[in-house]
Chain A
Amino acid sequence: MRIEVDRDRCCGSGNCVLAAPEVFDQDEADGLVLLLRPAPPAEAADRVRRAADLCPAGAIHLT
């Protein structure tokens, strides 16, 4: 699984951090998404899918 995030779309809701804190964080400066692990470990896959699903702005893309 590969993750891409679109910071232009991000609205800083923090749902991704709530779902998968080992993969996503928020930038101290602007609160927008910070991708910690573009290739997350297999055991995080479900939480990453949840993060993408919950993102209100559609800013997380999985391939």
Chain B
Amino acid sequence: MTATAATDLPLWPPTNPDHGPFALLDEQERGRLDKPVTRVRLPTGATAWLVTRHADVRQLLRHPAFSANFEKPGFPLLRPLPPQSELERQGGFIRMDGDAHTRLRRMLTAEFMIKNVRRVEPLIQQTVDEALDALQAAGPPADLVEAFALPVPSMVICHLLGVPYADHGFFQARSRTLLDRTAPVERVRTEVGELRAYLRELALARHADAATDLISRLVRDRVATGELSVDELVGMALLLLVAGHETTANMIGLSALLLLREPGRLDALREDPDRAPALVEELLRYLSVVRTGLPRLAVDDVEIGGRLIRAGEGAIAVLSLANRDPEVFGTADEFDPYQQAHQHLAFGFGVHQCIGQPLARAELRIALVELARRFPGLRTTATPEQLSTRDTSVVFGLNRLPVTW
């Protein structure tokens, strides 16, 4: 560790949002932060190593010397952790290591595997069609985030989990708080508690139920057999509910803006929808909505990018900058619909890599193909620089996307 005072270190995440939704850093930030491994200061006052290169991010996220457990002393948090009881932490396997993580994740891997998501595609298609029917019926102008990008993934995950979509106002508002790194910790604690209580009540009502949604099946197959506690189920459902709509919703909104920005992009998708899977990979790479990165704590000394990271030090794997690494992606700061983007790290890497990625890919593909097909004259009425963005959220995105057609 260097003797530099923490206050001299650059701040992560950077605070200047005035560069529009597609640039990751402004010039000054780039000079200070876009190096392979940089010591940074976090909003909590702690310090951490910022890791930005593709190969280094892969190594870090797959290395057993790093823990994902937020509770460990020295963990590089972006906001103070709300005080939580043991019960309130149950089931949140995104923050667990080793066998504890594997045990819970493996109860869900079959659910989100590619062939299962294929079986869900008609539901996604129907959800997209209905949202676009409603948009067409209401007529222009519209906010594409509120009318399309947010409700589609939200309805799909509700259907899969067995959460009533009618309650979307309740859980969407609380999801936003949970992901806002500037939200006061007491408020985060209250709202997470409300979400857990809501999901607990849903789960308990399912005991005698024959329904086929995921929560009902986990109650019958895992809770009733004593394999899983109700509080663990609640934590898992919370994770899936929040991750299941926030990430894809923001990807759909930003993708629509990016495709609308240059004439011809939507036309190309409409004329050749078979290109959609490759286009989706490039959108995932270029937009990388988890922009503040994935924090980890070194539990052993380890060298990353030529830098020794010692046990007890924090590191942040910056997926978004790794996805713009010119060593891997050539003209990485350009959006290139023909880019071979399959190596992107938008879903993370290592054993915590997004479990819902086949679902996210299918939702994005179907949503964008149908949007292009049904709304050939779609255009946005705002420039990217005028749009309000979610700068303090763990999941970056647009607050609104005004469109007409």
Contacts and interface: CB of A to CB of B under 8 A. Distances in A.
Contacts of A19: 342
B114 A56 contact: no
A56 B62 contact: yes
A30 interface: yes
Contacts of B347: 13
B44 interface: no
Nearest to A10: B109
B348 A56 contact: yes
A57 B351 contact: yes
Interface secondary structure of A, over-half rule = loop
A28 B110 contact: yes
A59 B74 CA distance: 30
Interface stretch (B143-151, B167-175, B239-247, B353-361): B353-361
Which of A11, A17, A32 is most buried by chain B, counting CB atoms within 10 A of its CB?
A11
A18 B353 CA distance: 15
Given A56-B353, A57-B62, A58-B62, A12 B348 contact: no
B111 interface: yes
Nearest to A12: B109
Nearest to A50: B342
A13 B357 contact: yes
B181 interface: no
A41 interface: no
A27 B110 contact: yes
B106 A12 contact: yes
What size tier do the contact residues of chain A reach? 20 to 34
6 contacts: A12-B113, A13-B354, A13-B357, A19-B342, A30-B106, A58-B62
A22 interface: no
Contacts of B106: 12, 30-32
B105 interface: yes
Contacts, number: 69
A56 B111 CA distance: 18
A9 B101 CA distance: 12
The 10 closest A-B pairs by CB, nearest first: A12-B109, A31-B109, A31-B110, A56-B353, A31-B113, A26-B113, A11-B351, A14-B114, A56-B349, A13-B353
A14 B349 contact: no
Given A31-B109, A58-B62, 6 more contacts: A12-B113, A14-B357, A19-B342, A26-B115, A31-B110, A57-B351
A7 B145 CA distance: 40
A17 B224 CA distance: 33
A14 B110 contact: no
B404 interface: no
A18 B114 contact: yes
B110 A29 contact: yes
A29 B61 CA distance: 27
Interface in B317-366: 342-343, 347-355, 357-358
Contacts of B355: 11-13
A24 B34 CA distance: 37
A21 B4 CA distance: 51
A37 to B, nearest CB: 17
B350 A30 contact: no
A34 to B, nearest CB: 10
A14 B114 CA distance: 6
B375 interface: no
A30 B62 contact: no
A14 B113 contact: yes
A29 B107 CA distance: 10
A27 B110 CA distance: 7
B22 interface: no
A19 B281 CA distance: 13
